[in-house]
Amino acid sequence: MSTFQLDALNAMSEVDFVAAIGDVFEKSPWIVESVAQQRPFKRLADLYTALAAVVQTAPMERVLDLIRAHPDLAGKAARTGTLTPDSTAEQISAGLHRLSELEYDAFHRMNDAYKARFNFPFIVCVRRHTKGSILRSFEKRLSHDTGAERGTAIEEILRIAALRLDSRVIAPDKLPLNGRLSTHVLDTYSGRPAEGVAITLLELTSDGVNRIVTTATTNADGRTTTPLIGDRPIPFGQYELQFEIGAYFSKLGVEQAEPAFLDIVPIRFGISDPEGHYHVPLLTSPWSYTTYRGS
Amino acid sequence: MSTFQLDALNAMSEVDFVAAIGDVFEKSPWIVESVAQQRPFKRLADLYTALAAVVQTAPMERVLDLIRAHPDLAGKAARTGTLTPDSTAEQISAGLHRLSELEYDAFHRMNDAYKARFNFPFIVCVRRHTKGSILRSFEKRLSHDTGAERGTAIEEILRIAALRLDSRVIAPDKLPLNGRLSTHVLDTYSGRPAEGVAITLLELTSDGVNRIVTTATTNADGRTTTPLIGDRPIPFGQYELQFEIGAYFSKLGVEQAEPAFLDIVPIRFGISDPEGHYHVPLLTSPWSYTTYRGS
Amino acid sequence: MSTFQLDALNAMSEVDFVAAIGDVFEKSPWIVESVAQQRPFKRLADLYTALAAVVQTAPMERVLDLIRAHPDLAGKAARTGTLTPDSTAEQISAGLHRLSELEYDAFHRMNDAYKARFNFPFIVCVRRHTKGSILRSFEKRLSHDTGAERGTAIEEILRIAALRLDSRVIAPDKLPLNGRLSTHVLDTYSGRPAEGVAITLLELTSDGVNRIVTTATTNADGRTTTPLIGDRPIPFGQYELQFEIGAYFSKLGVEQAEPAFLDIVPIRFGISDPEGHYHVPLLTSPWSYTTYRGS
Amino acid sequence: MSTFQLDALNAMSEVDFVAAIGDVFEKSPWIVESVAQQRPFKRLADLYTALAAVVQTAPMERVLDLIRAHPDLAGKAARTGTLTPDSTAEQISAGLHRLSELEYDAFHRMNDAYKARFNFPFIVCVRRHTKGSILRSFEKRLSHDTGAERGTAIEEILRIAALRLDSRVIAPDKLPLNGRLSTHVLDTYSGRPAEGVAITLLELTSDGVNRIVTTATTNADGRTTTPLIGDRPIPFGQYELQFEIGAYFSKLGVEQAEPAFLDIVPIRFGISDPEGHYHVPLLTSPWSYTTYRGS
């Protein structure tokens, strides 16, 4: 998908403007069309606010049309390759493109149950989720009443639109959509930052097939040069940081037993706030360590 | 295998004495026979010391006979069920009875390489080992010279005999063969021992198929009623303690996010001293924890 | 004061029995007299329970007589040396024998205000208190109503009697009157108990003149051979443990800056439960430490 | 003392230039005079480097004149008010203006012993020192040989000059003379930065009369808005941070005993690198805390 300068969007004809970003709302270009006259927008946040106002003040019928314009999660459209490009990328981000038959069936049953109850499809901003958290969300939302679910559907649609906008439009400002996960390794044996510690961040899945999210090595300040996650929401879920502490102290020349008491130090934690700042440091000697949710 | 009171062993005829415990040295009853005249032994340690002296002062030829009386580890005898009962139980303790074809081949190659080099079989007290540590030991010992390896073989034979003796003879004393692994959970949110925390102890294997060693729940003092391991050596290797901290704080009524920041807390550590005392406590709030090798 | 075997007390004439321990209730031998017929007592706890029952079921007038038999705290009797031996020792334990003129006046004013309000003297089991906590207690209790204060006075009288009994009578059992304060130093640099660490326990006073309660040195297990306090209640108050960590790591040969980052490590804590068990450990490297209320 | 823009110094006549900053070397304006022709200096560091080069390449006689131009520390000149303004302010910074008679005598004896041995006065950059560390330094340097001490005297003179320059000249750059002491309070009970914690930083003196260096309160990020010390060297010595943790948790509504287990948390540490960065955080619940030298 192409990206656009906010200035260029402001200068386009109405038709071109809708052609450029009309699809940030799934198959519903009328929303972008509705704000074309309000241009120019100084900041991306202004454009987003105008779009959100259109959705929030639309008559019920149009809202339901918008909701119903969304595909099933991990549904037939995904299998047959008829999703919009945005939806495809989003469903991939949560791993919905490589479900086992069992998982596919679970999604299928949930989708059907949800639609039978509410008469519209289940919508969730999957970039903030993992497979597991989507299924937990399905279950929880199935027990809500229709009004509440309509509200939730709109919230999720606005989150989806915001993330699409933010990735598509180059502007002086960014929408506040990103979480941050960072770490810091302090060597309490030497009293200084631990440099050169290899770190792996895993996403833990319920089926035990853990996924490597990223790897990094600490710098002279005991930190990673960029946050482990910093440019996107951190999907709800369970994670594990693994620190190669044994190798670090070996390189330092600290005498250790064979095997060392501490080799790989795992720190397992849950993310409940995808836009939150999570700082998860490690204070460690060869024989002891401390971790905490920092800031 | 039957157990015997030390007093009864002291009172037996020489023939019965040898029949009773002659097999604590693999297919070498002459060692037990050599100490029969020294009876009575007041303590098990005295009996062991007498037996060790026989081995340590035996002429080279007899020592080599003793070494060669031992079967291959995970070798043909194990596959065809022709091991002595003691050897069978010992090889099971390290999981040598359920090797994959690849592992079986690795052991086979190692055994052959070792015998080709030293002209006697590789002997190790497997109750102090895991599969992984046996293979690492093989590799390391392959580079030794013959004299050193003969010495190591005798040490290992004496360890095997000591463990067999200790399990077979009921005496006022025990041989100092047991390691101890214990834990303690302290709730730093409430300032008291954490009661009711479910704990799982895993042995980590290089193939990622972790084995549950034991499970336990903390008592009112934050400890387990008996040590996690206390009546045997702790095999060399990597372990992980998993503490169900999220469930503990939920039961206490502490409000937590969904998912909680800390749910299962894993502590991974290596054992390098099978007869050592390892105390691995956890000091934890819902947001922070500390662990260390304690005493 | 003499001590007596419980058996001997059981065997005495009634007159001797009262002569022996009649003074465990201040100037009120009638209480001990009342239980003489119930002898023999198997355990000290039985004797105490019988005595407590006498007090708790006595008619109001006798109770008030008992309360009024007590001297003023830090009052004239103390200054003129006319206290009972027990009262003298007790008032010394809380440092009431060396008050400044200002403190003496404060006690004097409090005593008078209390007696003016309740018509009986302020009674507190001073062995569970420090000067500061007595004054805080005075203030708090001044706002109670007479019934509540009568109840509190009896509770305190029973605590005083229990401590006197426990120190005077040798029996198979002890009354559960003792608090315990212990510590444990763990060297997280070396992964073992810290042996030979000098420790000082101070009681912190509001006037800044801190009092050394005890000193100790850690043994090979990182503990002190006996608890820092173990055979008496721990008076309400503020305390500081000081650990000579710099000297410990120097002796170990750890290179340190001049001055060391950590030299004397102070841990300051409050005691709110004189009969409680307080375990206050220190986990320390030359650059980091952790402490907590343990068990 | 007046401050000058570097640009203005560059533009002055030679006479004015020397009048402006000639006194950054004690009573030795010839050093500044020597670099006047090298103007303009782009950065303060360039000016300093030029001045240092003059001193380092001066003939021995001039160096000795420079050394001897310095007054005794806490000597007669200080008592009679005949020090230069710079020296006065510097000696005040280390508390040398309020010595007891005993301390005055100690300095006096040391000065005399030093001069007797080396034939020039003892010079130390007092802004990097406390009273105690100056006396320890005296003792240590007394055992050096004359060549080494001449070298040390020059180093200290250059440090003094650098600090005087840095405070007197406004330039695009600063000389790297400042240490930094900072802290950070993390609430491990709530899993967030501790806001509103009152902090006191004390300098501990050997006579037990501790001096308050600064006080601060943590902000929403658990930090102080500016470092506790950030715009000057941190004098060698012992310090104590006191954190009012009991009040913090009370305000948060956490139920605590009376008195609380943790009320004032003291952290005592030594500074051995006046230009170093010391980060001394506190991770704390009402029952446990951890501190460390961070970065």
Has residue A175 been placed in a domain?
Answer: no
Predicted confidence (pLDDT) per residue in C81-126, tens digit: 788 888 888 888 888 887 888 888 888 999 999 999 999 999 999 9
Among residues C170, C191, C220, the one where a domain terminates is: C170
Work out whether strand B4-5 and strand B169-170 pair parallel, antiparallel, or are unpaired. Answer: parallel
Q: How many CB atoms lie within 10 A of CB B194?
A: 26
**Beta carbons of B94 and B127 less than 8 angstroms apart:** yes
Predicted confidence (pLDDT) per residue in C118-165, tens digit: 999 999 999 999 888 998 999 999 999 999 999 999 999 999 999 999
pLDDT band at C1 (very low <50, low <70, confident <90, very high): low
Closest CB to C189 among A186, A189, A261 = A189
DSSP category for residue B36 = G
**Beta carbons of B171 and B6 less than 8 angstroms apart:** yes
Q: Test C193 with B222 for CB contact under 8 angstroms.
A: no
Closest CB to B288 among D188, D261, D286 = D188
What is the residue-averaged pLDDT of chain B?
A: 93
Amino acid letter, residue C130: T
Among residues A141, A170, A199, the one where a domain terminates is: A170
**What is the percentage of chain C residues whose pLDDT exceeds 90?**
80
Peptide bond into C85 cis (omega under 30): no
Q: How many CB atoms lie within 10 A of CB C49?
A: 12
Has residue D158 been placed in a domain?
Answer: yes
Q: Test C288 with A285 for CB contact under 8 angstroms.
A: yes
Cα–Cα distance list, A95 to A70, A82, A131, A161, C132 (Å): 18, 17, 7, 20, 65
What is the predicted pLDDT for the residue at A36? 97
Do A163 and A194 reside in the same domain of the chain?
A: no
Predicted confidence (pLDDT) per residue in C234-248, tens digit: 999 999 999 999 999
- What is the average pLDDT across A111-117? 94
**Beta carbons of D286 and D262 less than 8 angstroms apart:** yes
**Beta carbons of C135 and C37 less than 8 angstroms apart:** no
Spell out the residues 6+ positions from residue D173 whose beta carbon is closer than 8 angstroms to its own. D43, D44, D45
- What is the average pLDDT across C42-68? 96
Do C136 and C199 reside in the same domain of the chain?
A: no
What are the beta bridge partners of residue C125?
A: none
- What is the average pLDDT across A84-109? 85
Task: Decide if pLDDT at B209 tops 80.
Answer: no
**Domains in chain C: how many in total?**
2
Do A226 and A258 reside in the same domain of the chain?
A: yes
Has residue D175 been placed in a domain?
Answer: no
Do B102 and B246 reside in the same domain of the chain?
A: no
Do D147 and D40 reside in the same domain of the chain?
A: yes
- What is the average pLDDT across B39-53? 97
- What is the per-residue burial (b if ≥16 Cβ within 10 Å, else e) of C265-291? bebbbbbbebeebbbbbbbbbbbbbbb
C230 touches chain B (CB under 8 A): no
Cα–Cα distance list, B30 to B65, B68, B157 (Å): 11, 15, 15
Predicted confidence (pLDDT) per residue in D1-26, tens digit: 689 999 999 999 999 999 999 999 99
Has residue A193 been placed in a domain?
Answer: yes
Do C227 and C136 reside in the same domain of the chain?
A: no
In C52-111, the residues whose Cβ lies within 8 Å of chain B are none
pLDDT band at D73 (very low <50, low <70, confident <90, very high): confident
- Tell me the H-state helices in A143-272: 146-168, 245-251
- What is the average pLDDT across D130-134? 89
Contact residues, chain A, for D186 at CB < 8 Å? 292, 294-295
Distance from B181 to chain D by nearest Cα, in Å?
Answer: 25
Phi, psi of B180 (to 5 degrees): -145, 130
Among the listed residues D90, D127, D122, D104, the one whose alpha carbon sits nearest the alpha carbon of residue D237: D127
- What is the average pLDDT across B91-99? 82
**Beta carbons of D19 and D7 less than 8 angstroms apart:** no
Contact residues, chain C, for A246 at CB < 8 Å? none
A287 touches chain B (CB under 8 A): yes
Task: Decide if pLDDT at D92 tops 90.
Answer: no
Task: Decide if pLDDT at A79 tops 80.
Answer: no
Predicted confidence (pLDDT) per residue in A15-71, tens digit: 999 999 999 999 999 999 999 999 999 999 999 999 999 999 999 999 999 999 998
Task: Decide if pLDDT at B206 tops 80.
Answer: no
**Beta carbons of C117 and C142 less than 8 angstroms apart:** yes
- Tell me the H-state helices in chain B: 6-11, 14-21, 30-35, 44-57, 60-68, 76-80, 85-93, 101-118, 131-142, 146-168, 245-251
Among the listed residues D206, D159, B242, C20, the one whose alpha carbon sits nearest the alpha carbon of residue A268: B242
Taking chain D, what is the end-to-end CA distance rounded to the nearest angstrom? 35
Has residue D188 been placed in a domain?
Answer: yes
Do C39 and C125 reside in the same domain of the chain?
A: yes
Assign residue B129 the CATH number of its domain.
1.10.3330.10
What is the residue-averaged pLDDT of chain D?
A: 93
What is the domain extent for residue C106? 4-170
Assembly ipTM: 0.91
Q: Record the tokens describing residue D80, joined without a space.
A: 């009679």
Assign residue B231 the CATH number of its domain.
2.60.40.180
D261 touches chain B (CB under 8 A): yes
Q: Test A290 with B289 for CB contact under 8 angstroms.
A: yes
D146 touches chain A (CB under 8 A): no
Has residue B175 been placed in a domain?
Answer: no
Work out whether strand D185-187 and strand B288-292 pair parallel, antiparallel, or are unpaired. Answer: unpaired
- What is the per-residue burial (b if ≥16 Cβ within 10 Å, else e) of C199-228? bbbbbbeeeeeeeebeebebeeebbbeebb
Among the listed residues C44, C36, C43, C48, the one whose alpha carbon sits nearest the alpha carbon of residue C11: C36
Among the listed residues B33, B113, B106, B45, the one whose alpha carbon sits nearest the alpha carbon of residue B74: B106
Do B166 and B216 reside in the same domain of the chain?
A: no
Do C270 and C129 reside in the same domain of the chain?
A: no
Complete DSSP assignment for D113-130: HHHHHHSS-----GGG--
Q: How far apart are CA B269 and CA A261, in angstroms?
A: 5
Q: How far apart are CA B46 and CA A284, in angstroms?
A: 45
Do D15 and D131 reside in the same domain of the chain?
A: yes
Most confident of B256-260, D252-256, D287-291: D287-291
Half-sphere exposure of C135 (CA within 13 A, CB side): 17
Predicted confidence (pLDDT) per residue in D202-227, tens digit: 999 877 778 899 999 999 999 999 99
Among residues A115, A149, A170, the one where a domain terminates is: A170
What's the per-residue H, E or C state across A71-87? CCCCCHHHHHCCCCHHH
Q: Taking CA atoms, what residue in D is nearest to A190?
A: D293
Contact residues, chain D, for A293 at CB < 8 Å? 191-192
What is the predicted pLDDT for the residue at A85? 84
Predicted confidence (pLDDT) per residue in D157-175, tens digit: 999 999 999 999 999 999 9
Q: Record the tokens describing residue D91, joined without a space.
A: 């000696």
Do B16 and B153 reside in the same domain of the chain?
A: yes
Do B216 and B144 reside in the same domain of the chain?
A: no
